[in-house]
Structure 1
């Protein structure tokens, strides 16, 4: 992208936004990157956390006098774990580290390119993360987050037999929360909390031409909304009050450029206040003081217990001084409400389940018939027909001749889903239940030459159970009973006429595009379920993991 821009107009500045999936789950990396970290963490998360904290103090990335927060609730002492648990948890962390290392290598490719093109010295690079390490792996971690989304936890015994696949393309791995706390060293809690473990992130700024303190560390308090005004400040642009006659919202951040000078290490921050709100969890930082509360959905916001910390001498929020300074706490709570009103946080919305389940409005009434044309590209999960726990039928109109094989439709990936394909002239269906059980049907006759319809229908006879039937035209060509997942059917989405993912099954190699002619694939859904409210509640419990 940058090479093309530079080739077309090398005198024109460029702006590039490079957003990695790392290190959000799934934790996947080339095997060499994962293997590089074997043995690196064998001392366990308690000892590793101590070492990282000592290193942070030595480097100055946490202030002198900071404390290491105690283990978070629900994190066991490493020495109390079984041998199998330790072995499994170590591999999870090795995969995470390999994933991060691989990402760093890709950033290095960009840096090398800029250097080779003599662009590095005058390119402002800003590298940051989006939140603290996540606890969605819970106590044991998971090989397959689709199991987590379906409220089907995986035990150590379930996972240990596949330990050598961790970090590979066919698993959707997340590590246990004990390693997540290591990732947040020396802080408390995780992503989704408004304690520092959920909201404090590293920020690296590189601009050799204009930063005269390379390698310097800055401790001024800033927020992600300050990145945009910093860029504008560096390139000498002001934001207009109006654009094409339309009044613009003011930029709410402040520039961090003042911290670039060598003599700015002790400069007072130009961001004196910052509020936080995440699913009702709230916090506010003001001139070194911080108030924070954890919200229980469905309860009143007015009578919650707030903690108070002086972050100037309590970096890790381990000394709650709310009782010693009730007036200061009351002042900060009032400030939170003021800032929330100023920045359109209010009214606080406790409809968590509904909001997370809600799909974006399309302007159309709900329908039970969907048509997907060939060559449409990958279809996101949120655009799939909602076929969970209901009867449905998938029908494809194709033109088939001798030798035409390949995938008609693939929903999901190796972690779970279903695929319909033709192999050796026979119609095939497979349902992948969390990579634990594959139900496969092969038609008892070949697909005829010429134009025909092929179908797979699911007739529900109990909750999440039914009969799967394959059809060629109006003739039944295969049947079996099938148990389906209760909530999420896939975390990957759907491909029409091919299977681009880590394939739903290992019977073919991606993309296995259908070599005949595929005209369309239809979904027809029945209204034979009454679990919508239950489904909404389940979606809420698992939704935060996707953020």
Structure 2
């Protein structure tokens, strides 16, 4: 038996110190250990998955591994989120409301108010920061989107990255979305590249599962008794909907009856499961969504395929989650893992009424041709696409509720939630109807683990948790909900739940069609006069027990109940930093925010460096600019990329191929403009290779056209090539970063990446000193691509 003596850190040394070792007895500061038998904790956060999409929630998307978790535990029919990604994720990880954490919306639209500034306060500790001091490992994988975008470069600061918020390992992407075939990846605090290419079988969902398994197994073999907390947030099913074709093909013909029929089938399934009361009505038809029967045969064929691809994407992600579950079972940890699976918001309508083969066209205001999208029907989901389904599928995917992501009707804010802990609860395959919210997940974990919320974290006094535990419902189906009141606010769209009633004040209206009648659109500001009108006549009232889908407005029948709820909303808003109420997008976009570095017009890059995130790359849109590479060409010539940004959905590449200096500009995957030097112009030796672009006209941003211009190539100051570009990208390339000396992702030009330069690059300089022609309102489409 060991005679090792340990003592708590900070207490008096219990050994004896004499003049010599022989006269002394040692003792050691005790390492932090979790209590015997402490469970692992696994959070799985899906992205843009609606209440009526997963098969265990009556949906028609097969998710056998999530179903497996549900069968070993519980489905919560009444779980809520904030209706948007970053705010929900902040709530999940801190146990506080999103405004309390300064995350009113996506990080890129922060404004200078405490509930909106995007700087999550350290007094709102994250679950990782609470569990690591209790003897846990903490791993974060996948989507983060919880640090200010201007801090998400290799220059940091890193204190709001995952490793700065308590996680010990991180592998994933820092922004709101990424290309699933060519992702922008970070390992711990450093940018990294995918281990293989799509041609070699790469996909992000598989890669994240591989890394998650490695993190768990590496820790387990070295400390088998040490529990872990894993936050696993794959990109599925946020656009782009990328998936191997064979997974989409499993759904061939499954959705040919359309979104109207989908809703009816799923609603019947949900009643049979017990998620919805038998006599509850289905929410009414949304006037923004066309009836399936009115569509042409080709429209139905294209839109059905879009849903097949989305479903394959979700099933593929579910399959790789299953590999993680299998690993936990293999090492004997599955039964003693508390698993919580949730989506961050309702299904996404960001594909618009017609959907998109290349979502970058939508965000650049480029009119999409139905014929072009149809011509690419078999490419949907593949490496050449950047696709999103038509919003009829978002409406159907949120069955039985109305509306979708970004709105605080239940379609945006009520989400599937699955929980299991076989070693800690007796219930199997049951449904729970207690009211719950994402802020309740942290309190529930702490309650289940028998851990008190810490009073301080790294010396910072902690705020009180704002969620409540629902652990008492694990084995008691009729236990009362302890979450009685919950407010919601997103872009001025407001609602509140209290004691079985729900009031909603939609903004800019209950749907876009109705809003347009008052000349209001998504992003319209709420003036004091408008707010007075809304509070007087804009609120709706629903009784959840009879009408969970918000089909029958009872505002006229119960004015006293409604007034009480409106007053409660204002009280909650004061309490949780929701004010000032802001329905605008323009104001948020143009807000000046603190920056890590000073504004500049000159950027210098070197080969071998990390990929520069897209938002931090030089913004070459609608302005004069130049790119100059200082290179050495060896005997026999050289080839490869000098500088590249974006990919085949939109971007540019400055490169040498077949001995010719070339600049290729990819306009949202539709047009390719090229300027090339002649054969023999590039010789052995050191050279300055320069590309210049000079606008020759004005942009037409509302119609998706950036400035036209003259493109010129120079070698050592001598003009060697010129071309006229009829138009350019107005707002944003594909969400892929900039790389020097190679092309790390999807190629904008005709070569196989990474196509590394075989000569020597001393540096590449981008100069943006030319005048910028700006359109702030149009830029909003760029930012909203990231939520």
TM-score w.r.t. the length of structure 1 is 0.96
Confirm whether residue 118 of structure 1 aligns to residue 332 of structure 2.
yes
Residue 614 (structure 2) pairs with residue 378 (structure 1): no
Q: Secondary structure at the match of 2:692?
A: strand
Q: Deviations for 1:419-452, whole angstroms, at most 9, x for unmatched residues?
A: 1111122212111111111112221134332332
Does the C-alpha gap of structure 1 residues 98 and 462 become closer, same or farther in structure 2, counting only changes over 3 Å?
A: same
Q: 2:382 matched to which residue of 1? A: 168
CA distance in 2, matches of 1:359, 1:451: 42
In the other structure, the counterpart of 1:247 is 461
The 5 A counterparts of 1:15-414 are 15-261=229-475, 264-296=476-508, 297-299=524-526, 300-304=530-534, 305-356=538-589, 361-401=594-634, 402-414=636-648
1:546 equivalent to 2:786? Answer yes
Match of 1:460 in 2: 695
Deviation at 1:365, TM superposition (A): 3.5
Residues 292 and 306, structure 1, Cα contact 8 Å, conserved in 2: yes
Following superposition, the deviation at residue 542 of structure 1 comes to 5.5
CA deviation profile, 1:335-364 (whole Å, cap 9, x unmatched): 111111111111223452242465853254
State the structure with bigger RCO (CA 8 A, min sep 6), 1 or 2: 2
**Cα distance, 1:530–1:544 mapped onto 2, change above 3 Å:** closer
Match of 2:732 in 1: 488
Q: Partner of 2:651: helix, strand, or coil?
A: strand
Q: Give the distance between the partners of 1:121 and 1:435, measured in 2 at CA.
A: 48
Distance change (3 Å), C-alpha of 1:174 and 1:461: same
Give the distance between the partners of 2:271 and 2:553, measured in 1 at CA: 22
Q: 1:65 to 1:359 in 2, by over 3 A?
A: farther
Find the residue that maps to 1:24 and give its secondary structure: coil
* Structure-1 separation of matches of 2:607 and 2:742: 10
Whether the 8 Å CA contact 2:638–2:759 is kept in 1: the answer is: yes
Cα distance change of structure 1 residues 408 and 354 upon mapping to structure 2, 3 Å threshold: farther
Structure 1 match to 2:515: none
Question: In 2, are the aligned partners of 1:354 and 1:536 still within 8 Å (CA)?
Answer: no
Find the counterpart in structure 1 of residue 744 from structure 2. 500
Establish whether residue 438 from structure 1 lines up as the match of residue 682 from structure 2: no
3-state secondary structure, aligned to 1:462: coil
Could you tell which deviates more after superposition, 114-123 or 144-153? 144-153
Deviation at 1:277, TM superposition (A): 0.7
Structure 1 residue runs of 5 or longer lacking an equivalent are none
Q: Is the Cα contact below 8 Å between 2:623 and 2:773 reproduced in 1?
A: no
Verify the 8 A CA contact 1:84 1:156 in the aligned structure 2: no
In structure 2, runs of 5+ residues without a counterpart are 1-214, 509-523, 699-706
Query: Take 2:464 and 2:604, find their aligned partners in 1: how far apart are those partners?
Result: 44
SS in 2 for 1:397: strand
Q: Counterpart of 1:8?
A: 222
SS of residue paired to 2:677: strand
What is the CA distance between 1:83 and its match in structure 2?
A: 0.9
Structure 1 contact 411–493 (Cα < 8 Å) conserved: yes
SS of 2:232's equivalent?
A: coil
Aligned residue for 1:16, secondary structure, equals: strand
Taking the aligned partners of 2:659 and 2:592, their CA distance within structure 1 comes to: 39
By how many angstroms is 1:541 displaced? 4.8
SS at match of 2:772: coil
Distance in 2 (CA, whole Å) between partners of 1:44 and 1:253 is: 39
Cα RMSD, aligned residues only: 1.6
User: Displacement of 1:242 after TM fit?
Assistant: 2.9
> Partners of 1:487 and 1:385 in 2: how far apart?
12
Q: Give every structure 1 segment of 4 or more consecutive aligned residues whose post-TM-superposition deviation is greater than 6 Å.
A: none
Three-state SS of the structure 2 residue aligned to 1:396 is strand
Kept in 2, the 8 Å contact 1:353–1:539? The answer is no
Q: Deviations over 1:79-117 (max 9, x none)?
A: 110111011101101100000010100110100010111
Partners of 1:357 and 1:539 within 8 A in 2: no
1:471-482 to 2 correspondences below 5 Å: 471-482=714-725
Q: CA deviation at 1:45?
A: 1.3
User: TM-score by structure 2 length?
Assistant: 0.67
What SS is found at the alignment partner of 1:18?
strand
Structure-2 change in CA distance of 1:356 and 1:312 (3 Å)? farther
Figure out how many residues of one structure are paired with residues of the other and give that number: 541
Q: Return the alpha-carbon distance in structure 2 between the equivalents of residues 418 and 357 of structure 1.
A: 27
Distance 1:229 1:55, change over 3 A: same
Q: 1:440 to 1:359 in 2, by over 3 A?
A: farther
* The 10-residue stretch of structure 1 (340-349 or 201-210) with the greater mean CA deviation from structure 2: 340-349
2:405 & 2:759 partners in 1: Cα distance?
A: 47
1:115–1:15: structure 2 CA closer, same or farther, 3 Å change rule?
A: same
- CA apart distance, 1:292: 0.8
